[in-house]
Amino acid sequence: MKKTSLLVTALLFFFLFSSAALSVDEFHYAYGQWEMQGNRLVQKDLLAGMARVDIPFPQEGTVVYDFNVRYEDGGTEDLHAGFGIHLFVNNPAPGKAWGNDKSYLLWLNYDTDPSGITNGLSAQVYKSLSHHEMELVADYDLNRFASLLTNTNKDATIPVKLEVNSNTGDVKIADPMRDGWVYKFNLGNAKPLNGKFISLRTNSGSFSFGY
């Protein structure tokens, strides 16, 4: 089984997010106000829904995604903001779009007036069927962690580590607060997945991403 190792992934993210190695052709800035600040990729538009950047990243077999995210600003007036990552994208949408090719979106969301998903802090898995259509695969209630959303913690940089088996759809997400703990679920794909891009995505807030 082909496997993209953690080391290779870390080196790739170092290359992608390094301001020294970055060229304007590396990323596809689909929507939002994205820019490099030091070694962090920042989405600065506080009002942009469906902000997205597409990053070349071959995916096949078992793939490890290893990066970090930090809240920067926004989402306080309407108590709504979120971020996530599209996996296994081959043909990214050319601009602002609800879906993104045939891919899977892993999404972390805070919304006090949601439609069709958990109120408050939650996580979703979406299956993108096209640039215009997505279906909800799973919705997870994370309100037991909502007490961590405080001014004291708002500047924290959160590590994100995912391991995805593209053949079986098995996903492992490392708990950022407890070493050795993982959360497991399945994408439900009927056939093996592959992709040429990942896409970072934000909604109604500013977030930054690094390695």
Do residues 103 and 85 make contact, with C-beta atoms less than 8 angstroms apart? no
Q: Rounded to whole angstroms, what are the CA distances from 81 to 12, 71, 113, 195, 204?
A: 28, 10, 11, 27, 5
Q: What is the pLDDT of residue 26?
A: 81
* pLDDT tens sequence for the chain (211 residues): 444 444 444 444 444 444 334 344 689 999 999 999 998 999 999 999 999 999 999 999 999 999 999 999 998 888 999 999 999 999 999 999 999 999 999 999 999 999 999 999 999 999 999 999 999 999 999 999 999 999 999 999 999 999 999 999 999 999 999 999 999 999 999 999 999 999 999 999 999 999 8
CATH number at 17 reads 2.60.120.560
Q: What is the pLDDT of residue 25?
A: 61
Do residues 143 and 150 make contact, with C-beta atoms less than 8 angstroms apart? no
What is residue 38's DSSP assignment? T
Domain span at residue 18 reads: 3-210
User: Which residues in 74-133 belong to E strands, given as ranges?
Assistant: 80-89, 103-111, 120-128
Q: What is the pLDDT of residue 21?
A: 42
Q: What is the pLDDT of residue 18?
A: 42
What is residue 5's DSSP assignment? -
Count the domains in the chain: 1
CA 109 – CA 77 distance, rounded (Å): 15
| Burial class of residue 189, CB neighbours in 10 A (0-12, 13-18, 19+) | middle
Kindly report the pTM of this predicted structure: 0.89
Q: What is the pLDDT of residue 78?
A: 86
- Among residues 34, 39, 187, which one has the least CA distance to residue 96? 34
